[in-house]
Structure 1
Amino acid sequence: MKAESIRSIFNEFDHQSNYISHSEINSGHINDTFLVKTEGPKDYILQRINHNIFKNVPGLINNKVITSKHLKSKYLNLSEEELDKKVVSFVKTKKTPFYYHRENENFWNAMIFIDDSVTHEIVKDEEIAYEAGKLLGEFLNLTSDFDSSQLIDVIPNFHDMSFRYKQYASSIQSAFKKRLEKVASYRKIVADLKHEMHILQELKEIGAIPIRVTHNDTKISNSLFDKDNKGICLIDTDTVMPGIIHYDFGDAIRTICNTAAEDEKDLFKVEFNLEYYKAYEKGFLEKTKNSLSEIELNYLPLAVKTMIFLMGLRFLTDYLNNDMYYKTNYEEHNLDRAKNQFKLIESFSEKLPNH
């Protein structure tokens, strides 16, 4: 976007800073995110929320804001300045809401940028996996007393396996023949795993697993680290909503333990890293072991397989739907993502054969 447009939108927020420049951060599949540099002591993240995907953007932003406020309330020993470096802090507009909206156009929100921070697309050592596990564990532990009914369902049925299977079945009916032919070998995998991939959903529906505040997008790039790779916090809280901890744990492991990028075409590079799994699990359990039930703990491994599969199914479905949901850079981008996830399931099953 043009600098004048970004500056104009940025100046709708009550930041009391002077815009210098901006750059786009290309890490998300859905939204557009910009780093805004200012003359003041703080820089900012300016985010355009994709209202075609998120149907209730004011509710989504309220979820983010009240969750951050709850997290901040847990760090009583920190100053406001320290809190801004530990928890994602949202900026009000000059008219007081936490979002800016032009009629018939996009919604925007702004956050204080956490200086000297880094993210990772791929985990390269066990220490990062361990620190990331602690971050998710701390998030879930600190929000365990937060009434999740205060949150809206940002994307209804987001991790509902039955819903995703219905979407998949519909995509097969409407897909172009050429694309159907290219996914033929994966249709059998999807059919064979159908029962197992519904177990967690069924336990949730009968109340065997409690509903909690969950992040719902815990890929490794949504964990923020300092320059020494010590965990700071989880970011990109657009999908914070009620859920079960298995969604968060499984999706984190899905990205932490993939030895390659999510869209790596060379499947020989895609393996499940068992050492990273153990390191992440160690950090996660250090923060959550006293707040999780026995049944939640027992189903953590199945959560991993389920979430890898779910993403594979979603990428496959979007490919069959001619790439309507995820941003793609080339014609078979979603198919490559799907192949990648199914290969990861295969490797996971080899490394953890009893799960």
Structure 2
Amino acid sequence: MFKKLSQSNFIDMLLEKLKFAFSKFQHNSEFKLYQELASGHINSTYLIITESKPNFVLQCINDNVFNDVQGLILNKFNISTHLKEKLKDLSKDELYSSVLTFIETKEGKPYYRAKDGSCWNLMNYIDDSITFETVDDKEVAYEAGKLFGGFLNLTYDYDATKLIDVIPEFHDMFFRFSQFQKAIKASSKERLAKSQECIDFAFELKEEMHIIQNLKESGKINVRVTHNDTKISNALFSKSNKGLCVIDTDTVMPGIVHYDFGDAIRTICNEAAEDETNLDLVEFNMEYYKAYEKGFLEKIRTTLTSLELQYLPLGAKTMMFIMGLRFLTDYLNNDVYYKIKYAEHNLDRAKNQFKLVQSFSKKMNQL
């Protein structure tokens, strides 16, 4: 019989694993201790504190979620190299805090593949930086807009066809609506009854929510390098709340600007938590929208067509809708994708996002 590992044994094994993986990369630092960084939900990420700076971030990519781990790491390694070249006129310190710096292995690779199959990458830790989970200051929204808009602007001339699709059809409305319709057919009568109002709402907006996808498919909207996970916590700020660096580039792949714009707006402009059940508290914050849009367009306007500019607000509405649809689909599928804390957690999340869509729609005439 297998013996159950004690917590202390597990910690000791993890420590040795981290030390060994860290030793495979090109650096002149001595491992002192580690701290788990739990902000992400997919990969295992650790702050490696050394005897003397710099410190590092060591990451093990989750190959249960990402099929091509090596391709994913190459994506973000190559994009960081491109950004550094575009920003080469910055000072060394400015460049260090503006772009993720990935460290190669002693064999000259951007990742280390362990014998157990796990795949690791290492990057420099950006000192004196902070992140936000929510926004309560329009200046933070403005700085976030400049960061994500700047990222898209600087990568505009990178050939997106050289990137792999790390999650195919990630923001594809055709795919997400097809998943939703299949879930309805397979769901229990009880769950269908509880979610009927949300189901009806989804079908009411179906045609409008496919507009941007249709424009993409027709080639009227440009496919370019996009981040694809532009939540506010994926932006680093200085302690004085100035934007520093876009992080968590695991989902960098070909996409369209509207979904990057929309996902940031979705997370920045909701005045309530994503799973708030009191829907009276769920309101779209127009002040934060305008602040983010201002910063975003300051950086990216010159690379957008008039048609792309016209549909940015609909991009925001579409991303709120698509997240609500994904939560609703998971609820109908008996909660197989998102982690839940109680039986109707996903349904409450869907109601929350759909209420945000309604609030946004009422204020669209102000945009």
**Quick one: which of 156, 163, 166 aligns to 2:175?**
163
Q: Which residue of 2 aligns with 1:127?
A: 139
Within-5 A mapping of 1:76-155 = 76-103=88-115, 105-155=117-167
User: Residue 93 of structure 1 aligns to a residue in which SS?
Assistant: coil
1:208 deviation in Å? 0.6
Q: CA contact under 8 A between 2:88 and 2:95: conserved in structure 1?
A: no
Q: Which residue of 1 aligns with 2:285?
A: 273
Deviations 1:122-158 (A, max 9, x none): 0111100100011111111111111111111111111
Q: Which residue of 2 aligns with 1:211?
A: 223
User: Residue 21 of structure 1 aligns to a residue in which SS?
Assistant: strand
For 1:227 and 1:81, how far apart are their aligned partners in 2? 16
2:352 is the alignment partner of 1:340: yes
Q: CA contact under 8 A between 1:259 and 1:273: conserved in structure 2?
A: yes
TM-score normalised according to structure 1 size: 0.94
Moved more, 172-181 or 24-33: 172-181
Q: Which residue of 2 aligns with 1:32?
A: 44
User: Residue 229 of structure 1 aligns to a residue in which SS?
Assistant: coil
Q: Which residue of 1 aligns with 2:301?
A: 289
- AA partner of residue 291 (structure 2): A
For 1:220 and 1:260, how far apart are their aligned partners in 2? 14
User: Residue 58 of structure 2 aligns to a residue in which SS?
Assistant: strand
Q: Which runs of 5+ in 1 are unaligned?
A: none
Q: How many equivalent pairs are there?
A: 355
User: Residue 85 of structure 1 aligns to a residue in which SS?
Assistant: helix
Q: Which runs of 5+ in 2 are unaligned?
A: 1-9
Within-5 A mapping of 1:241-260 = 241-260=253-272
User: Residue 272 of structure 1 aligns to a residue in which SS?
Assistant: coil
Q: Which stretches of structure 1, 4 residues or more, deviate above 4 A after TM superposition?
A: none
- AA partner of residue 159 (structure 1): H
- AA partner of residue 58 (structure 1): Q
2:73 is the alignment partner of 1:46: no
For 1:152 and 1:287, how far apart are their aligned partners in 2? 26
Q: CA contact under 8 A between 1:30 and 1:327: conserved in structure 2?
A: no
Moved more, 148-157 or 3-12: 3-12
For 1:32 and 1:319, how far apart are their aligned partners in 2? 26
Moved more, 88-97 or 175-184: 175-184
For 2:301 and 2:152, how far apart are their aligned partners in 1? 11
- AA partner of residue 324 (structure 1): V
Moved more, 301-310 or 286-295: 286-295
Deviations 1:304-349 (A, max 9, x none): 0001111111122223333333344444433332222111111111
For 2:244 and 2:122, how far apart are their aligned partners in 1? 19
Q: What is the RMSD of the two structures over their aligned residues, measured on CA atoms?
A: 1.9
1:285 deviation in Å? 0.9
Deviations 1:253-305 (A, max 9, x none): 00110112223333332211000000001111111122211001000110000
Deviations 1:178-200 (A, max 9, x none): 43333222111111111111100
Greater share of helix: 2
For 2:211 and 2:314, how far apart are their aligned partners in 1? 9
1:173 deviation in Å? 2.9
Moved more, 187-196 or 38-47: 38-47
TM-score normalised according to structure 2 size: 0.91
2:314 is the alignment partner of 1:314: no
Q: CA contact under 8 A between 1:133 and 1:283: conserved in structure 2?
A: yes
Q: Which residue of 2 aligns with 1:240?
A: 252
Q: CA contact under 8 A between 1:29 and 1:327: conserved in structure 2?
A: no
Deviations 1:52-82 (A, max 9, x none): 1111111111110111111111112224443
Moved more, 70-79 or 94-103: 94-103
1:100 deviation in Å? 2.3
Distance 1:319 1:92, change over 3 A: farther
Distance 1:179 1:92, change over 3 A: farther
- AA partner of residue 47 (structure 1): Q
User: Residue 186 of structure 1 aligns to a residue in which SS?
Assistant: helix
Deviations 1:205-229 (A, max 9, x none): 1111111111111011111111001
Moved more, 90-99 or 191-200: 90-99
For 1:263 and 1:30, how far apart are their aligned partners in 2? 19
Moved more, 47-56 or 120-129: 47-56
For 1:68 and 1:116, how far apart are their aligned partners in 2? 20
The percent of aligned pairs where both chains have the same amino acid is 59
Q: CA contact under 8 A between 1:30 and 1:326: conserved in structure 2?
A: no
Q: Which residue of 1 aligns with 2:81?
A: 69
For 1:197 and 1:38, how far apart are their aligned partners in 2? 49
